Homo-oligomer: A and B are copies of this chain.
Amino acid sequence: MIVVMSHKATEDEIRGVIEKLEENGFKIHLSKGVERTIIGAIGDKTRLGCMNLETLPGVEDIVPILKPYKLASREMKEEGTVIRIGDLEIGGDTLQVMAGPCAVESREQLFAAAEVVKKAGARILRGGAFKPRTSPYSFQGLGEEGLKLLAETREKYGLFIVTEVMDNATLPIVAEYADIVQIGTRNMQNFQLLKELGRIDRPVLLKRGMSATIEEWLMAAEYILASGNPNVILCERGIRSFETYTRNTLDLSAVPIVKNVSHLPVIVDPSHGLGKWKYVIPMSRAAVAAGADGLLVEVHPNPSEALCDGAQSLTPGNFEIMMNEVGRIAEAVGRRV
Total A residues in contact with B, Cβ cutoff 8 Å: 106
User: Oligomeric state, in number of copies?
Assistant: 4
Binary per-residue interface labels of chain A (324-337) against chain B in the complex, 1 for a CB within 8 Å, 0 otherwise: 01001101110000
* The one of B33, B250, B289 that contacts A329, using a Cβ cutoff of 8 Å: B289
State the Cβ distance, A257 to closest chain B Cβ, in Å: 6
Which residues of chain B are within 8 angstroms of A29 by Cβ–Cβ distance? 29-31, 40
Alpha-carbon separation in the docked complex, A49 to B138 (Å)? 7
A311 pairs with B186, CB closer than 8 A: no
Which residues of chain B are within 8 angstroms of A137 by Cβ–Cβ distance? 46, 68, 226
Binds B, one of A83-91, A120-128, A152-160, A274-282: A274-282
* The one of B135, B136, B256, B304 that contacts A283, using a Cβ cutoff of 8 Å: B256
Secondary structure dominating the interface of A: mixed
Q: Which A157-174 residues have a C-beta within 8 angstroms of B?
A: 166-169
Q: A244-B213, A283-B256 are in contact. Are A49 and B219 (CB under 8 A)?
A: no
Which residues of chain B are within 8 angstroms of A54 by Cβ–Cβ distance? 276, 310-311
* The one of B50, B192, B285, B328 that contacts A167, using a Cβ cutoff of 8 Å: B192
Alpha-carbon separation in the docked complex, A53 to B303 (Å)? 10
* The one of B75, B239, B289 that contacts A241, using a Cβ cutoff of 8 Å: B239
* The one of B4, B65, B286 that contacts A4, using a Cβ cutoff of 8 Å: B65
A12 within 8 A of B: no
Q: Which A26-46 residues have a C-beta within 8 angstroms of B?
A: 29-31, 33-36, 38, 40, 42, 46
Alpha-carbon separation in the docked complex, A226 to B65 (Å)? 33
Which residues of chain B are within 8 angstroms of A52 by Cβ–Cβ distance? 303-306, 310-311
Q: Which residue of chain B has the shortest Cβ distance to A192 in the bound complex?
A: B167
7 A-B contact pairs sorted by A residue (CB < 8 Å): A51-B304, A54-B310, A135-B222, A215-B245, A239-B241, A246-B253, A260-B278
- What 4 new A-B contacts, CB under 8 Å, besides A54-B276, A285-B332? A2-B2, A134-B216, A245-B257, A289-B290
CB-based closest 7 A-B pairs = A52-B310, A211-B211, A289-B289, A54-B311, A286-B290, A186-B189, A285-B289
